[in-house]
Every structure is written in structure tokens, then in C-alpha cells.
A and B are shown apart, each in its own frame.
Chain A
Amino acid sequence: MIGIVNYGAGNIFSLTSALSRLGLSYGMINTESDFHQYSHIIIPGVGHAGAAMEKLNHTGLVESIRNLKKPVLGICVGMQLLTSHSEEGDAQLMNIFPLETKLFDRDLGIKIPHMGWNNIETKNNLLFEGIENQTQFYFVHSYFIEYNAIFEIATANYGLQYSAAIQKDNFYGVQFHPEKSGAAGEQLLLNFFKIKQ
């Protein structure tokens, strides 16, 4: 069963709806003692990374998350929270990935937010099994995770190359929204659930 970290950062109705459609059961993680009930953990998130981190800190769940050995998937801002720092609100984050979350640079001639369907270059990874390389996913964000060859499992190009998905041990993060990315996004959620501890 999938546990969703419930820290109040944005709407999760679309995510839970997607899980229901896929027949994946889920529950909410509100306190540390909830973790043991779940085999897979999702950290959702939309909005302001600094504000989201403040809320997450408030739950007291950060150390438990950092110590998890179960598969963890951060989505959008939930992925950014796994990095060390965000320029959004100059926020110190969970530092599971020693990476920086940065604001897109207008001088690259791009519109901000990056909004819409963008193709990604995927590496051979369980998360993307059965998903063709260069498939398009739905993105909505103004901040991005700097490209890093060690952790990246998918890259996107928007003015520059950046990490669309990252992995470190049992921790996964995707910048796009699988719950809004059509059939490919649903496949990704199913793949995540298949990842063994």
C-alpha cells in the first residue's frame, strides 16, 4: 500500500484519484507511527518550496523520511524537497540529494512557468519501464533541479538541460506530474509501485 505524506502542501485529490483509477490502494501519513503500514511512500507538493518545507518541518516527519529504506517518490515540489536547497524562499531542504533547486533564467528566452507537455530523455530505470524514451510528460514549474550526471534518470530541456527525474538508492523524484501525464504518467505510477525495497 502507498503512503502519502500528508503535510498540507497543495491539493492531492488528482494524485489519489490517479491511484484509485490504477487500483493502487493508499493511505495518509500524518505521524511517524504511520510509516510502517506502507510499502511505498509518495511526497506530493505544489506551490512554494520554502513554504512547503516549513509545513513539512512542522509535521516532524523529516528525519523519518530521511531514514526510510522503502521506495520514496517525490513529485514536483515534493521532489524539490529532497534536494539540499531551493532558491525559492532561500530554503534549506531535506538534503537527501546534494543538489540545488534553481529559478529558470528569463534571459534564456523562455517563458516562466514552464507549463505544458515536454519530452524527456530517459535512462534505463525501473521507473521508466515500458515508457518510450522521449515521451512527453506534463510539467508546471518555475524552479528546476540542476542537471547532475550521478543522480539523473531523466533530463528535460527548457532553455537548458535539467533533471526531470532523479534517483539515489530508494529515493526517486520527478519534476513532472505523473497523475496528469496521461497513460505514460499512469504507467510510471504503476512502475513505482513495482519497485522492491
Chain B
Amino acid sequence: MESQSNDIFIRMLSKRIIPCLDVKDGRTVKGVNFVDLKDAGDPVELAWQYAQQGADELVFLDITATHERRKTMIEMVKSVARQLNIPFTIGGGITEIADAEALLNAGADKISINSAAVKNPQLIADLAKVFGVQFVVVAVDTKLIAGRNMVHLNGGRLTTEIETEHWIKQAEELGAGEILLTSMDHDGTKQGFDCKLLDRITKMINIPVIASGGAGKVEHFTEVFTTTGVDAALAASVFHFGEIPIPYLKNELKKHNIPVRL
């Protein structure tokens, strides 16, 4: 009985729906197809639209590769923070405390680190100590290699010798406040999230987990929230192309007794 009543309490925390936006030189990339957008490349307008639709949070992934990246990113983060009334995370190219601090001061709620943390795990501990664990999302790209889930870097192009589950456990111990787990095997397939792995991971750690990679239809979101302990689900194209409108998705989740913010 006790676990049941606890379950009810815990379930009052909503499962989060998170659109992910790729940004290059301060502009959103990948075709975005909202009917009522004046400028589909404007991250501020897009972010605002998502907030209006009921997105619970946004992730911006910076893929800029020029020297100007930091400056343009800070400007973009400031513009977003001025307009947006929901939390957002910035990822991409954060390698040191100074990067994180500039983003925090520009209004970012969280930062997401990936390769830099694998190369220098101490970065997680340093960031957590300076800014608090709630600020530090560790993004992990995973891919099956000979039946084992291995950490990948550079958008999945570089295989490491590190086992995904081992790395996530270590990230939690170092001070990660949240894990953003992307299955490279599922990403882009629209065949559903990697629920087996996500289930194992959420049973293994005690910090929130965001599922990423594989969302193609509403049932995939229902599946990931009912069969695993993830706290949030992230997707890009299904939202950008309007294939799954967020209000519709949330209503469907609610029908399955999944707690959502409506």
C-alpha cells in the first residue's frame, strides 16, 4: 500500500515533452514547417511558438563551427530568455566553466555537455560545484557495438571504449543533474525509443532521464512513459514538421493516465 501511495505523489510531477532545435550561427536549421511562422529560422519566434503549444522545456543544440560561435550563441540565448517563459537548455561546444557561466548569465536554465565530459569527466564535478547539479545535463549518445551499448562522440561518428551504462553511472556520481540519452540506433528511424535501455538506465540511477531518438508517432511517447522510468521525451522532426502537434500528444498521454501539463 505504501508504495502505491508514494506512486501517486510521485506522479504529480508531470512527464515533460521537449522539442529540440538545432542552431547554427544563431539561426535554427533543419526544415521547420509551422504554418504560422513568419521566419522559421528565428529561434526566438520558434521557441515562443513551442511554448504557446505547451512544450514543457526546450533544448537548443548549437552546431556552429566557427570562431564566432560563442558570441552569436550568447546573443541568441539572451533573445530567447527575454521572450520565453519556460525553461531551456543549451548544448554544443561547452568545454569549460567560462562557457557555462556566460550561458547562465545570458539566461540559460541548464547546459548540456557531451564530448567534453567524456574527455574530461572532472568537468561535470566542477560545473556542479560552481552552478549546482540542476544546471548540468550530461548528454550521452549511445550505439550498439557487438551487442554492447557504447558511448559515441561527434554525433555518433566516433566510437569510444566506454560502456554507456558505466559512463552514465559515473556521470551521476560526479554530479550530473540530468541525463539526456540518445540512442543512435533509433535516432531518425521513427520506430520508437530504445525502451529496453532506457528502462535499465532509469532503474540504475536516481536523477531525471530524458529519452531521445526514435520518436515517430504518439504511441512511441506513450510506450516510453509507460514502460520506462524516464521523466521526459525529446524529439525534433515530429514536432518541427507538425507531424505530432504537442497539444494532441499531451491529450493522448493523459488518456493513458500519464501525468502531463495541459
Contact = CB atoms under 8 A, between A and B. Distances in A.
A158 B13 contact: yes
B109 interface: yes
A13 B105 contact: yes
A24 to B, nearest CB: 14
Contact of B261 (A113, A117, A158): A117
Contact of A180 (B82, B83, B85, B131): B85
A182 B132 contact: no
Contact of B81 (A13, A113, A118, A186): A13
Interface residues of B, number: 35
Given A48-B132, A115-B231, A109 B10 contact: yes
Interface stretch (A34-42, A122-130, A138-146): A138-146
B150 to A, nearest CB: 25
Given A11-B105, A14-B107, A113 B82 contact: no
A141 B206 CA distance: 14
A157 B86 contact: no
A106 B261 CA distance: 25
A160 to B, nearest CB: 7
Nearest to B110: A140
Given A117-B16, A140-B134, A159 B10 contact: yes
Interface stretch (A15-23, A54-62, A64-72, A92-100): A15-23
A20 B232 CA distance: 30
Contact of A160 (B9, B16, B107): B9
Interface of B: 3, 6, 9-10, 12-14, 16, 51, 56, 78, 81-83, 85-87, 104-107, 109, 131-135, 177-178, 206-208, 231-232, 261
Interface of A: 10-11, 13-14, 17-18, 20-21, 46-48, 106, 108-119, 136, 138, 140-142, 156-161, 177, 179-183, 185-186
Given A113-B207, A159-B10, A180-B86, 13 more contacts: A11-B107, A13-B106, A14-B109, A17-B82, A20-B82, A47-B132, A112-B207, A119-B12, A140-B134, A141-B134, A142-B134, A158-B12, A182-B85
Please provide the 7 A-B residue pairs with the shortest distance between their CB atoms, ordered closest to farther.
Answer: A13-B107, A157-B9, A117-B14, A47-B132, A117-B261, A140-B134, A17-B82
